[in-house]
Amino acid sequence: MPEVGGVAGLPLFGRELESKLLADLVSGIRDRGAALFLSGEAGIGKSALLAEAGALAAAAGLRVMRTTGAEAEQHLPLAGLHQILHPIRSGLDTLPGPQRDALQSAMGLADSAVADLYLVGLAVLNLLAEVAAETPVVLIAEDVHWLDQVSADVLAFVARRLECPARSSQIRC
């Protein structure tokens, strides 16, 4: 199991329980997926906990993918998903035709009609599954309240289809 202790070895004061939960979740991802919802007031340390989760996952050899909502981009459809998908866009060719076309259209990689959101969701789910088949994936979405609605909807669609109900956790800061 990865060592608990904060980012760059610095301790997260008063977060021993949360740090232990993160370490336990990360250590079990290879055997069975996990989901975590982290919530709390601004400035309470959520970003530090997410940074720790990412560091633990990377140290365990997992692929860490991130998106961060930004107020300036909240009205740009798929801006949040672009942060996740851009590095793995070469995998689009492995998707079934309708999903590939929908996601390419949504990402501005093809001239076509507005993409069907359901097909975009399926495409993202399948593309992430392809990536995770090579190396398990930890997807971190931070400042979700600033994500554009389409990205938030697609990420919720993907999260509801993860096969990890027994490993779901919630941390309220």
The DSSP line for 121-149 is: HHHHHHHHHHHHHHS-EEEEEE-GGGS-H
Q: Identify whether 29 is part of a domain.
A: yes
Q: State which residues form the domain around 45.
A: 7-172
Q: Identify whether 146 is part of a domain.
A: yes
Find the CATH number of the domain harbouring 155.
Answer: 3.40.50
pLDDT at residue 2, rounded to an integer: 45
Query: What is the share, in percent, of the chain residues with pLDDT greater than 70?
Result: 84
Of 120, 118, 119, 33, which is closest to residue 84 (Cα–Cα)? 120
Q: What is the pLDDT of residues 100-151, one digit of tens each?
A: 999 999 888 888 776 789 999 999 999 999 999 999 898 888 998 999 999 9
Burial state string for 52-79 with b = 16 or more CB within 10 A and e = fewer than 16: bbbbbbeebebbebebbbeeebbeebbb
Q: Identify whether 2 is part of a domain.
A: no
Q: Identify whether 110 is part of a domain.
A: yes
In the chain, the number of structural domains is 1
Q: What is the pLDDT of residues 74-83, one digit of tens each?
A: 999 999 999 9
State pTM to two decimals: 0.82
Q: Identify whether 55 is part of a domain.
A: yes
Q: Identify whether 111 is part of a domain.
A: yes
Q: Identify whether 1 is part of a domain.
A: no
